[in-house]
Chains A and B, each alone.
Chain A
Amino acid sequence: MLQANHRVKRYQKEKVLGEGTFGIVNKAKDTKTGQYVAIKKVRMGNSKDGVAIPALREIKILQDVRHENLINLLDVFGTSSNINLVFDYCIADLEQIIKDKTIALSTAEVKGALKMILCGVAKLHDHWVLHRDLKPSNILMDTQGVLKLTDFGLSKLFASPDRKYTNQVVTRWYRAPELLFGATQYGTGIDMWSVGCIFAELMLRQPYFPGDSDIDQLSKIYSALGTPTEEEWPGVAALPAYVEFTPKPRPPMRLTFTAASDEALDLLNQFLLFDPCKRISAHDALNHPYFKKAPLPCSPNQFLEKVRSGRLLLGSDSHHVVSQVETDDHLSKRRRYSDFGKRRLEF
């Protein structure tokens, strides 16, 4: 049976990697394996409702779905006021790679990156999970050059077709038009739209639809793709927050993506179809001619080499301050509640 896993002083913290909505991410060394790991510390002190639901979602989904292109949850442990999620250590995120103009991404590298993203998304969708927050900063690159989807705090199972979900998901620039119009019943299409935006961003090296507000977002989408007609997107006018825009013609995509191949533009078009039912699925996208024609997608190693050629990773591993991560004590230690609840359980 399961053995109590005592992780006393197992992880040595080295530096802060970043801070998100739910806590701080530290780089640490696993003294047991010698590997570097990322420890996401989820705060619990201010939570009125106990352990935060996004943290539980993330744990549950990552325990259920495992794939090379999804971040690997190595361990979870509790400290006095936090839950610590231990992940594979990643050296950069896709946003940093896109922003670093010293890295010149070739077609093969864009294909390789998109293929890795699609493999991760396909695996999630196979397990009936919507990521709901796909964006370049939530796609990390590990030490082998493999891209991994991360941050499953907004993820959700979508097994019930009639169930209603919140539309306040996905960062605005990557949000599908049905969400902007307040749809509460949606599916994998919202993730595929985000993948389309990321694909466009990989080619343009800047966000494709950088809206300042929901209306501005829609305006930017319509400027690039034209205003959808009722035939293109049946039922759009019935969406809860539907706003009618002045009809705009669809400009040729070739004007924006001057160097893209026909296959690339066709795939991008299929990611960015207005009707979510017609939008391409992750599996179909992986079988698209774009990935079959030369140049073929690069390997993770080649992608890593290209990223290393830029400024991004120069001197990234220097000046670490080593300190111990607070870890939990012996699991079999019994705790008792006082009858009047004066003493809290240690955690």
Chain B
Amino acid sequence: MAQTTTSSENRQSLWLFSAEEIASIPPYEKQFVRKLAAYIIVCSEMLSLPLPVAHYAVVLLTRYDMLYDLEPRTEAPYIAAACLFLACKVQETHKRLRDVVFWTVRVRTRKSRDYPGGEEVVEGSVRYVEEKENLLSAERDVLRCLHFDIFLETPHSSIVQLAKIYGDTRENQRMLAQFALNVLHDTYVSIPFLHIRYRAKEIATALVAFAAAMYDYPLPDRTTENDQSDKDNRLVAFHEYFQVNRIVLNEIWKRVLDCYEPEYSSEEKTNSLSKEEEKHQ
């Protein structure tokens, strides 16, 4: 059965920006946000955080940037660190403040002239107090600027859900989910604005279809009935499960392929996705 939209999804759509709004961001600012997203991912690895927590933080950061430009601001790394700290709390993956301060400062200052390996800020030192104050102030700033709207849906669970529905064997399910989740992770670093342009379920559907295309795994593209006697037990087309528009899917595929050039953005793969489109039309 196809899924219907819920009130929380409708609220999420308030945080989606138009293509024009995103296109109006200067390239240097986009690059700056990408750097901050990469900073969040590295810090999360150092803190042994699950990837969804880091991804959550990247979306908070992009939302913040859309409302309050980050680019010229010296405090931007604190905002990024605060997004990560906040994501830990909201996603119930608690990390001690001293650890977050230690690793965010160390990653931020590494390769600098004074601290080639990164500055180590120890709890109780004057530097620790300064850094802690900045981080906590940034945390409050992020919350306030985002209007305390901290409920956020990420595509992870929808990817797993789709893979389980459309993968015929356990192996295929794992293959679809793993590939889609890998690509998803890359999108948070390479094209973080994708996540404030499209709904989580649209991204999930696009990435599962992308994974299927990469492995030449056929997905049902129109409503088919597995069992004529049981009409409720039918397998809907992959894009109909979350009611995703195929034009939107095409847009997401193009954005994803662009970030993989030249490795995956081959004519062949683009054509295979387009052929699917033509077939549908």
Contacting pair B141 A347 (CB below 8 A): yes
Kindly state the separation between the CA atoms of A331 and B7 in the bound complex, as whole angstroms: 26
Kindly state the separation between the CA atoms of A308 and B137 in the bound complex, as whole angstroms: 46
Contacting pair A341 B134 (CB below 8 A): yes
Instruction: Tell whether A156 is near chain B: CB-to-CB under 8 Å.
Output: yes
- The interface bits of chain A over 41-70 (1 if a CB of B lies within 8 angstroms of the residue's CB, else 0) are 000100011110100100110011110000
**How many Cβ-Cβ contacts under 8 Å join chain A to chain B?**
97
Contacting pair B137 A337 (CB below 8 A): yes
Interface set of A (CB-CB < 8 Å, partner B): 1-2, 4-5, 44, 48-51, 53, 56, 59-60, 63-66, 76-78, 83, 156-157, 328, 331-332, 334-337, 339-342, 344-345, 347
Chain B positions within 8 Å of A63 at CB level: 8, 11, 149-151
Contacting pair B139 A50 (CB below 8 A): yes
Kindly state the separation between the CA atoms of A323 and B144 in the bound complex, as whole angstroms: 23
Which 10 pairs between the two chains have the least Cβ-Cβ distance? A341-B130, A76-B148, A345-B137, A337-B75, A63-B151, A347-B140, A341-B134, A50-B136, A344-B137, A78-B144
Question: Most chain-A Cβ atoms within 10 A of its Cβ — which of B138, B143, B148?
Answer: B148
B contact residues, range: 35 or more
Known contacts A50-B97, A336-B73: A1-B141 contact under CB 8 Å: no
Chain A positions within 8 Å of B15 at CB level: 2
Kindly state the separation between the CA atoms of A342 and B131 in the bound complex, as whole angstroms: 10
- 9-residue interface stretch from B88-96, B206-214, B258-266, B268-276: B88-96
Min CB distance A44 to B, Å, is 7
Contacting pair B21 A66 (CB below 8 A): no
Instruction: Tell whether B147 is near chain A: CB-to-CB under 8 Å.
Output: yes
Contacting pair B144 A328 (CB below 8 A): yes
Instruction: Tell whether B67 is near chain A: CB-to-CB under 8 Å.
Output: yes
Contacting pair A53 B147 (CB below 8 A): no
* B residues 6-39 touching A (CB-CB < 8 Å): 7-8, 11, 14-15, 17, 21
Contacting pair A50 B85 (CB below 8 A): yes
Contacting pair A2 B150 (CB below 8 A): no
Contacting pair A341 B131 (CB below 8 A): yes
B77: nearest residue on chain A (CB-CB)? A337
Instruction: Tell whether B145 is near chain A: CB-to-CB under 8 Å.
Output: yes
Contacting pair A64 B151 (CB below 8 A): yes
Chain A positions within 8 Å of B8 at CB level: 63-65
Contacting pair B74 A337 (CB below 8 A): yes
